[in-house]
Amino acid sequence: MAKTKYHIELSDSERSLLTKIVCEEKESERTIMRARILLMSEATQPEKVSIKKLAEILGTTDTTIQTVRTEYAAGGVEAAVYRKQRTCAGYNSKITPEIARQIREIASSTPPDGKKKWSSRMICAEVEKRGILEHIVSSTVCKILREEV
């Protein structure tokens, strides 16, 4: 299957943003690399460079070159150069301070009959049994118990 070719045509403002990123070197190495890829892939470049040759020049892989070009075509400069922002902040999106408090209470209470102490899996089962959360994993319980109160 042939790879889709993307023609990179940067506006003046996009070109100046990318040049600023590359010249100032205040961004991460990944961001600078991606900016260089776009600048060197631009259709107005006097000399056309293949993906393999560009990867060799920049010290990266063909896949990275193709990914940056694809992301540019799909979402513009911002999507191609910068990392995507995470939409959720891990377990904190479900775990409110009240839920964390209830989990700590369970952990500090007397364990079930026949057990010397609570395990994280037993705490998960108890949280689900009490209807505090529909589902929780033991690693989340461990994170909550390690946090400062």
Q: How far apart are CA 48 and CA 30, in angstroms?
A: 23
Write the pLDDT tens digit of every residue in 69-116.
Answer: 999 988 888 888 988 765 555 544 678 899 999 999 999 999 999 999
Rounded Cα gap, residues 51 and 62, in angstroms = 6
Instruction: Provide the residue count of the chain.
Output: 149
Mean pLDDT score, 33-62: 88
- Average of per-residue pLDDT across 48-73: 90
Does residue 62 contact residue 41 with C-beta atoms inside 8 Å?
Answer: no
Q: Quick one: pLDDT at residue 83?
A: 80
Tens-place pLDDT, residues 111-132: 999 999 999 999 999 999 999 9
